[in-house]
Chain A
Amino acid sequence: MRFIGFFFDLLEPLFKFAQKWLGIERLGWFFVGPNLLVFGVFTFLPIVINVIYAVTGGVQLIPFDRPYTGAENFQILFECRNYFDIQSCRKDVFWRAIFNTAKFSVIQVALMVFFSLVTALVLNRKIIGRGFWRGVFFYPVLLSPVVVALVWKWLLQSQGVFNALLVGAGQTPIEWLTNSQWAFFWTIFVSIWAHMGFYTLILLAGLQAIPKDLYEAALMDKASPLRTLWRITLPLLMPNLIVVLVLAMIRAVQVFDEVFVLTGGGPGSATTFIVQFIYQTGFAEQIHLYGLAAAASLTLALGLIALTLVQLKLTRANDVGQKTR
């Protein structure tokens, strides 16, 4: 503690000088300075460079050394001889990644919202030890993606528990992670397992904010539990549901680390998603095609912007709906 105090005292003359020079109110710039510097260098500058990368070619890392190629990177990504056949595209892995990401996002988000809603509804009942149960569902959220993937890889490997159970039941063992359909199923399952607790928590907070007298009134009117759920709980939970839906969607579109460790994107490209495509194109392959990776990033960014706009629209529509009701 004393060391920290010493450190702060050391900085004092610097700030005193700035204070004399700038005056108290403009000293604010001095306080936000370090933050803005980091943001500027590591967030805003990269956004600009990303655009430059996307319209230039070659393998050089320094933007000025790269030849301008216009929309060529996007052409490489999107060009297909026949748009009904992924095989005929120049970058069929990219198309497959987009297709996989879309399929993954839709299924995963639907299941995620369903299960976290059910869990939140159960946790909102009069149950004993709510804090404990809430913690149970939340625990995997804190684990790192690599640990999550390894926990499941250990269960799903060909000599793992799941196959032991199958053999015990007289079935033939299944290669869970090298069969493309099963591998896809497990990427969805594991990502729901790992993140469900977070969304449950948001929904639970929303449920607990619903005034209790509404339920008492419903009870007086002898409304059935199902009707109460449909007419009171869900409409009042709508703002939280929208938040969960959009957050889950934005995360699902960017799925990478768990899947990367669990399946490595395989078998083949059955579980290769957009971010992994970007990582592989820009960093993992022999020739680092930064331009192509940046173009794919921009495509992903457009998708995310679209999702955010949908969120705004949904929230607004919901607000209007609430007012007119």
Chain B
Amino acid sequence: MTWVKKPAEAMSFIRFLTRTQNTRALGWTDYVSYSYLLVGLFTMFAPVLWLLASSFKTESAIGQFPPTLLPYSQKMVRIKSYDNPLPLYVITNDVGETKTMAQVSRIGIIANMVDPDRPEETMQVNINQRTPVTEITIAIENYSDIFKKFTFGKYLWNSVFITVIATLLTLLINSMAAFALSKYKFTGQKFVFFLIIATLMIPPTIILVPVFLVINSVGLLNSLWGVILPAVATPTGVFLLRQYMLTIPDELLEAARMDHASEWRIYWRIILPLSAPALAVLAIFSVMWRWNDFLLPLIVLSKSEFFTLQLALNSFQGELHTQWHYLLAMTVITLLPITLVFAFLQRFITTGIASAGIK
């Protein structure tokens, strides 16, 4: 409920709900607007919610057509003298009587059924006479299996490692550069700033092949560092931080120099703490960029032990027989951190993007 965070908004929402004809009535344009927004709400969230709901279905439930919203699956019973659990059916005979029985085997259109109460006798039933007994089963095992059966924990760790280390490095070297560009006047400064901004114009897709060569020749192919290092210097980051640091008064630096503080100390004791808001914005962006990155890891990491979550998802979905029940659970885990970041920092991110115009 992000929308009733502010008391004033909560009030206006309550006023909206309790609005009577005395106050300004909603015009037709308002109805059109709210309908548009509701359609938008459905279009944006329903696909993701459907994925979430489906990820709790068992393997057999997921293969059913037409699909159901809730995770129904066939009820199974254990019967003495049978090793495996048997699926339950409701049998309707010719006179319309019903009876619940378990299926032992099936040959063509004839099924061998057994009464759970009398396991000794089996009877033959036409398969058109039976309907499966279903129950809601939440397949939590989809989530635990992916850690047991696949090296999903490894992929998760790779993604977390890349995201955390790359973000820390990005913050460090970009803030250093921004400090130099905002608080010093050295020869060639304008040129450096121009060079950095110029790289904004060079999309990574264009230099894909030579970047691969460079990463290969410095020996970082199939290494997580090969994904981390090439993008730690971001022009957007430098630009964002520089603009913010320009607003920090120079007098603070002068005072520190009077007290014989070294330049490095000024940087990390004065400039860094004062730039915290801008650093936070860059940190959020960096986390999103890194967590979601696809093309660079795709060419750098070809061995599956180095796969990130995104690469693992891509390789699983490309298999001939996609195991959707596992794939969906993996997708949910992949989108979860970003969704949490969004839920808590939504206002912060949207205003940050609107002011910086970056993504």
Q: B77 to nearest A CB, angstroms?
A: 27
A127 touches B67 (CB 8 A): no
Instruction: Tell which of A87-95, A103-111, A201-209, A315-323 binds the partner.
Output: A201-209
Give residues of chain B (215-240) contacting chain A, Cβ–Cβ below 8 Å: 216-218, 229-233, 238
Which of B196, B203, B257, B265 meets A35, CB within 8 Å?
Answer: B196
A26 touches B186 (CB 8 A): yes
Cα distance A201–B353 when bound, in Å? 8
In the assembled complex, B96 has its CB within 8 A of some CB on chain A:
no
B317 touches A144 (CB 8 A): no
Residues of A close to B194: CB separation below 8 A: none
Closest to A282 in B: B209
Cα distance A300–B205 when bound, in Å? 9
Cα distance A24–B257 when bound, in Å? 10
A42 touches B229 (CB 8 A): yes
Instruction: Tell which of A11-19, A75-83, A178-186, A215-223 binds the partner.
Output: A11-19
Q: A76 to nearest B CB, angstroms?
A: 16
Closest to A132 in B: B3
Which of B29, B44, B179, B192 meets A193, CB within 8 Å?
Answer: B44
Give residues of chain A (35-65) contacting chain B, Cβ–Cβ below 8 Å: 35-36, 38-39, 41-50, 53, 61-63
Closest to B330 in A: A150
In the assembled complex, B157 has its CB within 8 A of some CB on chain A:
no
Residues of A close to B213: CB separation below 8 A: 46, 49, 61-63, 290
Residues of A close to B30: CB separation below 8 A: 125
Residues of B close to A145: CB separation below 8 A: 292, 294, 310
Residues of B close to A41: CB separation below 8 A: 214, 218
Cα distance A50–B51 when bound, in Å? 41
A136 touches B45 (CB 8 A): yes
Secondary structure at chain B's binding surface: helix, strand, loop or mixed?
helix
Cα distance A304–B202 when bound, in Å? 9
A129 touches B294 (CB 8 A): no
In the assembled complex, A275 has its CB within 8 A of some CB on chain B:
yes
Interface residues on A, range: 35 or more
A25 and B186 contact, Cβ closer than 8 Å, known pairs A43-B199, A134-B350, A261-B314: yes
B354 touches A131 (CB 8 A): no
B195 touches A294 (CB 8 A): no
Cα distance A101–B354 when bound, in Å? 28
In the assembled complex, A21 has its CB within 8 A of some CB on chain B:
no
Give residues of chain A (119-145) contacting chain B, Cβ–Cβ below 8 Å: 119, 122, 125, 127-129, 131-145
B350 touches A46 (CB 8 A): no
B3 touches A129 (CB 8 A): yes
Which of A155, A197, A254, A298 meets B203, CB within 8 Å?
Answer: A254
Tell me the total A-B contact number using a CB cutoff of 8 A: 294
In the assembled complex, A71 has its CB within 8 A of some CB on chain B:
no
In the assembled complex, B331 has its CB within 8 A of some CB on chain A:
yes
B206 touches A135 (CB 8 A): no
In the assembled complex, A154 has its CB within 8 A of some CB on chain B:
yes
A144 and B291 contact, Cβ closer than 8 Å, known pairs A35-B176, A43-B199, A136-B41: yes
Closest to B352 in A: A201
Q: A233 to nearest B CB, angstroms?
A: 15
Residues of B close to A275: CB separation below 8 A: 205, 295
Q: A69 to nearest B CB, angstroms?
A: 16
A151 touches B229 (CB 8 A): no
Residues of A close to B70: CB separation below 8 A: none
A15 and B34 contact, Cβ closer than 8 Å, known pairs A135-B2, A147-B335: no
B67 touches A161 (CB 8 A): yes
Cα distance A245–B43 when bound, in Å? 23
Q: A27 to nearest B CB, angstroms?
A: 5
A31 touches B184 (CB 8 A): yes
Give residues of chain A (274-296) contacting chain B, Cβ–Cβ below 8 Å: 275, 278-279, 282-283, 290, 293-294
Closest to B195 in A: A39
In the assembled complex, B318 has its CB within 8 A of some CB on chain A:
yes
Give residues of chain B (150-190) contacting chain A, Cβ–Cβ below 8 Å: 173-174, 176-177, 179-181, 184-189
Residues of A close to B66: CB separation below 8 A: 164, 167-168
A sample of 8 cross-chain residue pairs with beta-carbon separation below 8 angstroms, ordered by A number, consists of A25-B184, A25-B185, A28-B189, A42-B211, A50-B207, A131-B5, A138-B342, A275-B205
10 cross-chain pairs, A with B, having the tightest CB-CB distances, nearest first: A132-B3, A144-B292, A28-B184, A31-B180, A46-B210, A15-B264, A49-B210, A129-B3, A164-B66, A38-B233
Which residues of chain B have a CB within 8 Å of any CB of chain A? 2-5, 9, 12-13, 16, 29-30, 33-34, 36-37, 40-41, 43-45, 47-48, 50-51, 54, 63, 65-67, 173-174, 176-177, 179-181, 184-189, 192, 195-196, 199, 201-203, 205-214, 216-218, 229-233, 238, 257, 262-265, 267-268, 288, 291-295, 298-299, 310, 313-314, 317-318, 324, 327-328, 331, 334-335, 338-339, 341-342, 346-347, 349-350, 353-355, 357, 359
Which residues of chain A have a CB within 8 Å of any CB of chain B? 8, 11-12, 15-16, 19, 24-32, 34-36, 38-39, 41-50, 53, 61-63, 118-119, 122, 125, 127-129, 131-147, 150-155, 159-161, 163-164, 167-168, 193, 197-198, 201-202, 204-205, 225, 243, 250, 254, 256-257, 261, 264, 275, 278-279, 282-283, 290, 293-294, 297-298, 300-301, 304, 308
Given contacts A151-B48, A294-B210, 13 further A-B contacts (CB under 8 A): A19-B263, A32-B176, A39-B199, A50-B207, A53-B209, A125-B29, A128-B9, A139-B45, A144-B294, A147-B313, A150-B317, A163-B65, A167-B66
